[in-house]
Amino acid sequence: MSGSEFGLMMLSLSVLLISVHALAWVFEKLLQPRLVGEILAGILLGPWVLKLLAPQTFGLLFPTGASAAVYGFLYNLGLILLMFCAGAETRRLLGKENHKETATLIGVGDIVNFAIVLALGFMGLLPLKALTGPKGTEMATLLIVAIGVAVTSIPVISRIFWDLRIMHTRFVSLILGCSVVEDIALWVVLALATALASAGAVGAQVVNTVTGHVIATFVYLIVALLLAPPVLARAMHARWNLVHRSTPVGSLLLILFVYCAIASAVGVNIQFAALLAGFGVVGGISGKERHRVAVPLDAISKVSFAIFIPIYFGIIGYRLVFGHEFSMAIMIGFLVGSTLIAVITEGVAARLAGFRGLDLVNIALTTNARGGPGIVLASVAYDAGLINGAFFTTLVLTAVITSQMAGAWLRYVLKKGWPLLSTNPDETWLPEPSLEPQQAGLQPAPGELAA
């Protein structure tokens, strides 16, 4: 990259950062999730707005070639930093107090969601041909549609929780615990969809692909949740660890990069790996190391949410596809139909799990903030040719709208002083973050060290 190309890259990033932060501020003042403003900024700067209104300016700000590669790197870096921060701030993920509820929400809500969509597809009631990409099949598309209805988006919902300053609550640990398990199943199904769409991928080849992915993900999960945290705790405070003694911030980022590198090598999703990396550096399920790494985590989160994470959501908006390919009928049909299925089934599952009253609404609307293909997997499926541009845009916009609904509802509940869960009425949002890590929610919750 030449000096002039680097200068244009800096100009492009400056315009993107100004835009995402300005619109995020506007949406926050309107009591809406910041990420909606960030995605809208990407849309306004993208090929469907700026390129049509000012093609020369668009070409100057977003040239092809090296700049595209840089933006691809920043996109993935923003994603793993978001997951890392979410994992580090999540309390009691998959803790004992959530085992029964998590199993019921997944076993009833998600499986029923998935089954309903598959049934509709087999009955020929879904326009699968209009959604399928150049390398996909209708069966693979049906699996993507089912994932899009059943799965909660970890990146989007984590950002909403972060902005609302409720990462420390049991409600968040319950939702993200369900999402982590869902994420494992999601990537298994995506592997199956990709195998089905591959030439000659039938019979034993499909079975081997899915089996290998399941085994790799399960082993990675066990190691990351149970074995790695105590090893990391010893390593971070060992006298021989010159990296951590020299730069604790660099040490934590190094752990994140190693987690993602290993995950990529064994075929595990890097978003999932980054979440587990954040969870691992604070001591895993016990969270005993959280207070020791509070200061470097605070530094990482401030830089991440100032630069890289807004860029990630801005690029999502930039990549959306409109024009003649986009179908408003499919968009509205998918949004309304999938929301009804998700809210009703998750509400029933929450009631079977023992929740009542306002808890049912909070859980149902929050788990309806879907991503999977909607935000992250949509990119994977679209890049693999499994779905077309119109369905990619439909999935992302549905994820944005359902996330906006969830974020607005949770903010309303918190402002009213209502509990997120009636079993934990004392848990509410934290004060505005300050320079003190303990005020930013990085200190362990009362009694957490004892746990």
Q: Which range among 88-92, 329-333, 380-384 shows the weakest confidence by mean pLDDT?
A: 88-92
Q: Which of 24, 55, 73 is the last residue of a domain?
A: 73
Q: Is 359 helix (H, G, I), strand (E, B) or coil?
A: helix
Closest CA to 374 of 328, 333, 320, 327: 320
Q: Are residues 103 and 67 in the same domain?
A: no
Q: Are residues 60 and 116 in the same domain?
A: no
Average pLDDT over residues 390-412: 85
Q: Are residues 293 and 239 in the same domain?
A: yes
Higher local confidence (pLDDT), 29 or 451: 29
Mean pLDDT, the chain, rounded, equals: 81
Residue 113: partners with Cβ closer than 8 Å, 6 or more residues away: 146, 149, 150, 341, 342, 345, 346
pLDDT confidence bin for 372, thresholds 50/70/90: very low
Count of domains forming the chain: 2
Higher local confidence (pLDDT), 338 or 185: 338
Q: Which range among 56-60, 204-208, 310-314 shows the weakest confidence by mean pLDDT?
A: 204-208
Tell me what pLDDT residue 306 has.
Answer: 93
Q: Are residues 8 and 88 in the same domain?
A: no
Residue 270 included in any domain: yes
Residue 344 included in any domain: yes
CATH of the domain at 413: 1.20.1530.20
307: tokens are 């630069």
Average pLDDT over residues 174-192: 72
Model confidence pLDDT, tens digit, residues 215-229: 887 788 889 888 999
Q: Are residues 101 and 240 in the same domain?
A: yes
Q: Which of 73, 94, 122 is the last residue of a domain?
A: 73
Percent of the chain with pLDDT over 70: 82
Tell me what pLDDT residue 441 has.
Answer: 41
pLDDT confidence bin for 102, thresholds 50/70/90: confident
| 10, pLDDT greater than 60 | yes
Q: Are residues 97 and 67 in the same domain?
A: no
| 323, pLDDT greater than 90 | no
Tell me what pLDDT residue 58 has.
Answer: 86
| 289, pLDDT greater than 80 | yes
pLDDT confidence bin for 203, thresholds 50/70/90: low
Higher local confidence (pLDDT), 380 or 445: 380
- Rounded CA separation 276/13 (Å): 29
**What residue numbers bound the domain in which 435 lies?**
79-312+328-440
Residue 91 included in any domain: yes
| 437, pLDDT greater than 50 | no
CA dihedral 19, 388, 74, 264 (to 10 degrees): 160
Tell me what pLDDT residue 432 has.
Answer: 59
Q: Are residues 33 and 123 in the same domain?
A: no
Residue 318 included in any domain: no
Q: Are residues 297 and 398 in the same domain?
A: yes
On the 0-12 / 13-18 / 19+ scale of CB atoms within 10 A, 4 is exposed
Are the beta carbons of 395 and 333 closer than 8 angstroms? no
Q: Are residues 406 and 337 in the same domain?
A: yes
- Distances in Å between the Cα of 113 and the Cα atoms of 102, 117, 339, 378 are 16, 6, 10, 19
